[in-house]
């Protein structure tokens, strides 16, 4: 059995762990435990699962020091960033606790028996029920919030779905420690093994999504990884949904008036947004459209100065470091000019220099309008907003599109650009930056392919829907129904005979 | 260009129409019109689209006589059935008018800017917006309610998505007349061409789902058709969702006590359910589990008598007729015994005899537990309910599962069987029959693969969600927001700062 290796990206040191890649027989054990854990999660009901999620949040926080230390050594991300990310992970579990207590997410609906234009209609009641065990692929860049203790796990457990995680090879020990913190909370509530489980190794990931017990898969990663997982799913007799969040360029448009009014401030915000966490964020702005005018010049000068005076950043792993450097070289070969790139000591680890590239609007080739994971921003200079539409339409669809307006911008121009951005993104950001995604009820973290499959989100309260399916009961005796569908139940909002009935206070 | 043929299944006569298969240049015109029509649908807003749907319903009813006559000549379905189906089509358009006026379907959510455990959170607002033009594949067996004037069209237009329909080759003239009735309503409201459009021919169907303007596809049909369409979608650089409803066996379990208490009544209901509309319904029960006891014997005798004394049924087309006869032969070769099959005059059209087959529980092979489209029911005799679980678990997942209980049945047995059925179906029917799907808010017409892709439905208010995607606005000025997301708008239910706010009365 292959031993799992952990690598410290700060010095490149590789160390063997006591973990081994998951083989088929171990996967069978895990899948069996998950199927049994599904019954335990269902039996707890919504409020019991909310209690579990709160306990998991508390357990993550109780293990904060060890978890953050493990992640620092495996990701090279800063202590402050990882400390904040652990808080975010706990917030996500608590938010889904609220979602469960609120109960609207089950979309309970009751149509009593009635005469209809088509004759007597039976009693029909519908609500969402758990899909069953799900597979989640941890992300390299969020060792907590998009990994074992991440939003997918929180949403899936809230839904009532045991979660089998493919640990990302960049942080196996953090994954293990996160799973242990979750399992500790499960055990304290008398829960069985299998509520969460980990598998290690690429082959185990493929076997996982082929396993009959697994009912959905969620991935944050590359298009290549998604295609490999989809190919494995396609080998199933029964396809399962793959909720994938892949690459995103996140264009940001600075209108002339905004550049003139607050160029220095935008330079600061933009620099922070494309370099924080080493630019290794799915919402990192990769393209900034900046006007070719004096205000735009001052903005770019300020941005260049910040990049030139910055230091190196440790990237997550060797593969990401190499991809970053190759991609930057490709952009330059395709005609992007280096506007700023400090000299940095690359050392023994995976350190790189942040890079500011520049092209004119006509130089924005498909190659340059692609994602570069890491601290790289391409500034695209434009003359007049009239040419922006076509340029933005040539940028691949993204999670986000951002627009900075000035005090005197033409409302029609803003409307037009918002329409262009909205057609190709899942979130439109005004006068701000796409990074720093708020975890909240109204959040949407998705967009047209390849950023996601458009109709789902991996962040926010509605991400739970990925792990649920509708089930209808026709003329069922009350004692067979889930309590949420019994006439007398009023603790959650329901649609009764076509009308929304809020929860009783 | 290939001329489109229409065939009368009652006498097998083939006639050329004045329609031709759609070529690539015509498809380009249609796609361009659809993209422009999307703007018109968006500009009408929810209430304007509700008005359109009501007008379409009225137009369908105004053309009732001609539409029903066209469908009779192309499908061989009875006048009464087609007349009722046209009513259903109108009901579906009117229901989505109600869905639009209610407005909850946009899932409007507002999170005002606030301090969070992760720092200041921006203002985030989310609602569902139209996907864009969609492709719908008409079904053979519902020339109105699952075709050009069907639920997919109603849901898509309600969502704001122009709909390009691939006309089913079984009813080209009905499709054309249905489109004309819809277009007439669109024109009366000053709408453009392209709100609905038709394409003819298999090649046009494949080109349609490959077209960049098309953002989703919906199909009711065979697994083979779905795989062909998915293969065409897989050629796109940007995958689009395929909402497919394929085959379904719809097992029905009669418990011993039910057979004893009301065997004659169940025989009547079951006979009607598997033979009405020539058994050509996606919810037709294909397998009936009936106890091997005196009550079960009497039920099967009554069923046999009804089948033996029935006449022939005209099936929809030659392919379906051939498939029905081949499948019946396969079931017999696999060990099913003919229990009843009347002698019928097959004539020159596509007439067949209804067929009742019988097997013991141990004789229920995978071959026999598969869908046979048409008026065929396999009775599976069982001894005691203990063996039912394993047998039901071997039946492919279905749209529905039904259970008939008696006055004295053991609640634990019922619960156990409901759990088994629920794991493999989208709707559980108690003491009734799965055909005759109520069109209503709580309806769910879906199930695990292959009946559908589990998380969506093609019938009921929530089927609109297939044609919508979420979009979030961050820190947007109020004048950019859709009205549903402005603070002062109170006409629809919204989630504001995590709390559900019902619509103001």
CB contact under 8 A, B455 and A474: no
**According to the model, what pLDDT value does residue A263 have?**
97
B489: CB partners within 8 A, 6+ apart: B483
**According to the model, what pLDDT value does residue A192 have?**
98
Can you tell me the distance from the alpha carbon of B369 to that of B367, in angstroms, rounded to the nearest whole number?
A: 6
Can you tell me the distance from the alpha carbon of B470 to that of B476, in angstroms, rounded to the nearest whole number?
A: 16
Specify which residues A401 forms β-bridges with.
A428
Q: For B168-183, what is each residue's pLDDT tens digit?
A: 999 999 999 999 999 9
- Chain center to CA of B448: 14
CB half-sphere exposure, A69, CA atoms < 13 A: 4
CB contact under 8 A, A442 and B414: no
**According to the model, what pLDDT value does residue A131 have?**
96
CB contact under 8 A, A118 and B476: no
Exposed, middle or buried by CB within 10 Å (0-12, 13-18, 19+), for B195?
buried
Residue B457's closest chain A neighbor by CA? A470
Angle between helix B79-102 and B151-159 (nearest 10): 20
Q: Which of B440, B471, B477 sits opposite A124 (nearest CB)?
A: B440
Mutate to test the interface with B, among A414, A440, A501 (most CBs of B within 10 A): A440
**According to the model, what pLDDT value does residue B248 have?**
94
Q: What distances in angstroms separate CA B464 from CA A502, B40, B104, B457, B469, one per listed residue?
A: 22, 19, 12, 9, 11
Q: Which of B102, B119, B449 sits opposite A238 (nearest CB)?
A: B449
Can you tell me the distance from the alpha carbon of B158 to that of B49, in angstroms, rounded to the nearest whole number?
A: 6
Mean pLDDT value across residues A215-227: 91
Q: What are phi and psi of A487, to 5 degrees?
A: -50, -40
- Chain center to CA of B105: 20
Can you tell me the distance from the alpha carbon of B29 to that of A174, in angstroms, rounded to the nearest whole number?
A: 55
Q: A with B: how many residue pairs have Cβ under 8 Å apart? A: 224
**According to the model, what pLDDT value does residue B32 have?**
98
Whether this model's pTM surpasses 0.80: yes
Q: Would you state the structure tokens that stand for residue B360, as one six-digit string? A: 């013991």
Q: Is residue A42 classed as helix, strand or coil in its secondary structure?
A: helix
Q: What distances in angstroms separate CA B96 from CA A113, A173, B52, B54, one per listed residue?
A: 20, 52, 10, 9
Can you tell me the distance from the alpha carbon of A293 to that of B363, in angstroms, rounded to the nearest whole number?
A: 81
B13: CB partners within 8 A, 6+ apart: B7
Q: What distances in angstroms separate CA B232 from CA B107, B198, B205, B228, one per listed residue?
A: 32, 19, 9, 6
In chain A, residues under CATH classification 3.40.605.10 are 20-246+454-500
A309: CB partners within 8 A, 6+ apart: A342
Q: Would you state the structure tokens that stand for residue A278, as one six-digit string? A: 């080493």
Mutate to test the interface with A, among B409, B413, B442, B496 (most CBs of A within 10 A): B442
Can you tell me the distance from the alpha carbon of B384 to that of B403, in angstroms, rounded to the nearest whole number?
A: 15
Answer yes or no: is pLDDT of A221 > 90: no
Can you tell me the distance from the alpha carbon of A51 to that of A55, in angstroms, rounded to the nearest whole number?
A: 6
- Please tell me which residue in A282, A358, A372, A484 is annotated as part of the active site: A282
**According to the model, what pLDDT value does residue A449 have?**
87
Q: Would you state the structure tokens that stand for residue B18, as one six-digit string? A: 């004045």
Q: Would you state the structure tokens that stand for residue B70, as one six-digit string? A: 């066209």
Residue B238's closest chain A neighbor by CA? A449
Spell out, as residue ranges, where chain B has pLDDT lower than 70.
none
* Confidence label for A451 from pLDDT (cuts 50, 70 and 90): confident
Mean pLDDT value across residues A13-40: 98
Q: For A79-128, what is each residue's pLDDT tens digit?
A: 999 999 999 999 999 999 999 999 999 999 999 999 999 999 999 999 99
Please report which helix (H) or strand (E) contains residue A291, including its range.
Answer: strand A287-291
Q: Are A303 and A264 in contact, with CB atoms under 8 Å apart?
A: no
Specify which residues B252 forms β-bridges with.
B288, B402
CB contact under 8 A, A471 and B426: yes
Q: Are A424 and A450 in contact, with CB atoms under 8 Å apart?
A: no
Q: Are B237 and B387 in contact, with CB atoms under 8 Å apart?
A: no
Can you tell me the distance from the alpha carbon of B219 to that of B246, in angstroms, rounded to the nearest whole number?
A: 8
Can you tell me the distance from the alpha carbon of B401 to that of B417, in angstroms, rounded to the nearest whole number?
A: 10
CB contact under 8 A, A441 and B497: yes
Q: Which of B287, B246, B256, B257 is nearest to B270 (CA)?
A: B287
A477: CB partners within 8 A, 6+ apart: B430
**According to the model, what pLDDT value does residue B221 have?**
85
Q: Which of A102, A121, A444 sits opposite B440 (nearest CB)?
A: A121
CB contact under 8 A, A498 and B438: no
Can you tell me the distance from the alpha carbon of A417 to that of A403, in angstroms, rounded to the nearest whole number?
A: 8
ipTM for the predicted complex: 0.97
CA B132, B26, B243, B105 dihedral sign is positive
Contacts of A470 in chain B (CB under 8 A): 426, 444, 446, 455, 457, 462
Contacts of A500 in chain B (CB under 8 A): 102, 104, 493, 502-503
DSSP state of A144: T
Q: Would you state the structure tokens that stand for residue B207, as one six-digit string? A: 């080109």
Can you tell me the distance from the alpha carbon of B229 to that of A449, in angstroms, rounded to the nearest whole number?
A: 19
Can you tell me the distance from the alpha carbon of B135 to that of B153, in angstroms, rounded to the nearest whole number?
A: 9
Q: Is residue A357 classed as helix, strand or coil in its secondary structure?
A: strand
Can you tell me the distance from the alpha carbon of B127 to that of A427, in angstroms, rounded to the nearest whole number?
A: 11
Q: Would you state the structure tokens that stand for residue B240, as one six-digit string? A: 């689009």
Q: What distances in angstroms separate CA A61 from CA A171, A387, B115, B488, one per listed residue?
A: 19, 50, 20, 39
Specify which residues A244 forms β-bridges with.
A219
- Chain center to CA of A160: 20
Q: Would you state the structure tokens that stand for residue B30, as one six-digit string? A: 């249609």
**According to the model, what pLDDT value does residue A346 have?**
87
**According to the model, what pLDDT value does residue B220 have?**
87
Mutate to test the interface with A, among B440, B494, B495 (most CBs of A within 10 A): B440
In chain A, residues under CATH classification 3.40.309.10 are 251-430
- Chain center to CA of B238: 26
**According to the model, what pLDDT value does residue A505 have?**
75
Q: Is residue B336 classed as helix, strand or coil in its secondary structure?
A: coil
The residues of B assigned a catalytic role are 245, 282
**According to the model, what pLDDT value does residue B500 have?**
96
Virtual CA dihedral for B463, B469, B474, B477, nearest 10 degrees? Answer: -80
Q: Would you state the structure tokens that stand for residue B362, as one six-digit string? A: 């141990």
Strands, E assignment, A190-270: 196-199, 217-220, 242-245, 252-254
CA B459, B461, B465, B468 dihedral sign is positive
Q: What distances in angstroms separate CA A382 from CA A103, A332, A424, B350, one per listed residue?
A: 49, 19, 20, 67
Mean pLDDT value across residues A195-216: 97
Other Cβ atoms within 10 Å of A233 Cβ, number: 20
Specify which residues B137 forms β-bridges with.
B166, B219
- The domain B251-430 belongs to what CATH superfamily? Aldehyde Dehydrogenase; Chain A, domain 2 (3.40.309.10)
Q: Which of B189, B195, B114 is nearest to B157 (CA)?
A: B195
**According to the model, what pLDDT value does residue A220 have?**
87
Q: Which of A91, A443, A448 sits opposite B118 (nearest CB)?
A: A91
Q: For A338-372, what is each residue's pLDDT tens digit?
A: 999 999 998 889 999 999 999 999 999 999 999 99
Q: Is residue B437 classed as helix, strand or coil in its secondary structure?
A: coil
Spell out a b/e string for A162-181, using b for 16 or more CB atoms within 10 Å of the CB, else e: bbbbbbbbbbbbbbbbbbbb
Q: For A280-330, what is each residue's pLDDT tens digit?
A: 999 999 999 999 999 999 999 999 999 999 999 999 999 999 999 999 999
Other Cβ atoms within 10 Å of A14 Cβ, number: 9
Q: Are A399 and A248 in contact, with CB atoms under 8 Å apart?
A: yes
Chain A closest CA to B214's CA: distance in Å? Answer: 13
CA A420, A423, A429, A434 dihedral sign is negative
- Whether A245 is catalytic is yes
Chain A closest CA to B124's CA: distance in Å? Answer: 6
**According to the model, what pLDDT value does residue B346 have?**
87
Q: Which of A123, A129, A116, A126 is nearest to B427 (CA)?
A: A126
**According to the model, what pLDDT value does residue B223 have?**
87
Q: Are A426 and B471 in contact, with CB atoms under 8 Å apart?
A: yes
Residue A467's closest chain B neighbor by CA? B455
Can you tell me the distance from the alpha carbon of B286 to that of B277, in angstroms, rounded to the nearest whole number?
A: 14
Contacts of B443 in chain A (CB under 8 A): 111, 124, 126, 472
Angle between helix A64-75 and A172-188 (nearest 10): 160
Contacts of B436 in chain A (CB under 8 A): 119
Give me the architecture of the A20-246+454-500 domain, per CATH: 3-Layer(aba) Sandwich (3.40)
Please report which helix (H) or strand (E) contains residue A40, including its range.
Answer: helix A24-62
Q: What are phi and psi of A158, to 5 degrees?
A: -60, -45
CA A95, A97, A100, A102 dihedral sign is negative
Can you tell me the distance from the alpha carbon of B466 to that of B161, in angstroms, rounded to the nearest whole number?
A: 11
**According to the model, what pLDDT value does residue B1 have?**
72
Can you tell me the distance from the alpha carbon of A82 to that of A89, in angstroms, rounded to the nearest whole number?
A: 10
Mutate to test the interface with A, among B119, B438, B458, B465 (most CBs of A within 10 A): B438
């Amino acid at each position: 059995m292959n031993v799992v290796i952990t690598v410290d990206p700060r010095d490149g040191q590789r160390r063997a762990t006591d973990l081994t890649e998951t083989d088929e027989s171990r996967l069978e054990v895990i899948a069996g435990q998950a199927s049994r854990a599904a019954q335990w999660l269902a039996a707890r009901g919504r409020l019991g699962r909310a209690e579990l999620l709160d306990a998991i949040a508390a357990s993550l926080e109780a293990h904060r020091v060890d978890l953050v230390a493990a992640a620092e050594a495996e990701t090279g991300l800063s202590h402050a960033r990882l400390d904040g990310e652990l808080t975010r992970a706990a917030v996500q579990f608590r938010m889904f606790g609220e979602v469960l207590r609120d109960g609207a997410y089950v979309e309970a609906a009751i149509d009593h028996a009635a005469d209809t234009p088509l004759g007597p209609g039976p009693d029909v009641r519908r609500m969402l029920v758990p899909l069953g065990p799900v597979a989640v692929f941890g992300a390299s860049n969020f060792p907590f919030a998009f990994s074992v203790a991440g939003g997918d796990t929180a949403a899936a457990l809230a839904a009532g779905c045991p979660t089998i995680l493919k640990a990302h090879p960049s942080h196996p020990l953090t994954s293990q420690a996160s799973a242990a913190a979750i399992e500790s909370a499960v055990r304290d509530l008398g829960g069985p093994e299998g509520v969460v489980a980990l598998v290690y190794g690429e082959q185990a990931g493929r076997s996982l999504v082929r396993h009959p017990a697994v009912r959905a898969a969620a991935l944050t990663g590359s298009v290549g990884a998604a295609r490999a997982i989809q190919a494995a799913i396609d080998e199933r007799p029964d396809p399962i949904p793959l909720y994938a969040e892949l690459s995103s360029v996140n264009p940001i448009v600075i209108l002339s008036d905004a550049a003139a009014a607050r160029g220095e401030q935008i330079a600061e915000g933009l620099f922070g947004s494309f370099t924080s966490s080493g630019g290794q964020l799915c919402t990192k702005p990769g393209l900034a459209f900046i006007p070719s005018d004096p205000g735009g010049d001052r903005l770019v000068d300020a941005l260049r100065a910040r990049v030139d005076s910055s230091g190196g950043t440790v990237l997550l792993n060797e593969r990401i470091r190499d991809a970053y450097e190759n991609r930057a070289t490709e952009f330059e070969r395709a005609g992007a000019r280096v506007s700023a790139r400090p000299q940095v000591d690359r050392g023994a680890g995976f350190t790189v220099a942040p890079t500011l590239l520049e092209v004119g609007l006509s130089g924005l080739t498909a190659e340059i309008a692609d994602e570069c994971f890491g601290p790289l921003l391409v500034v695209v200079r434009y003359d007049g907003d009239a040419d922006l539409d076509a340029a933005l339409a040539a940028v691949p669809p993204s999670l986000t599109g951002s627009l900075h307006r000035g005090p005197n911008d033409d409302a029609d121009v803003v409307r037009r650009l918002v329409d262009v951005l909205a057609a190709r993104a899942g979130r439109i950001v005004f006068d701000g930056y796409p990074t720093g995604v708020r975890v909240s009820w109204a959040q949407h973290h998705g967009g047209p392919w390849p950023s996601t499959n458009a109709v789902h989100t991996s962040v926010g309260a509605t991400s739970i829907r990925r792990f649920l399916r509708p089930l209808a009961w026709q003329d069922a005796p009350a004692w067979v129904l889930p309590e949420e569908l019994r006439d007398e139940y009023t603790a959650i909002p329901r649609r009764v005979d076509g009308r929304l009935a809020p929860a009783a206070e």
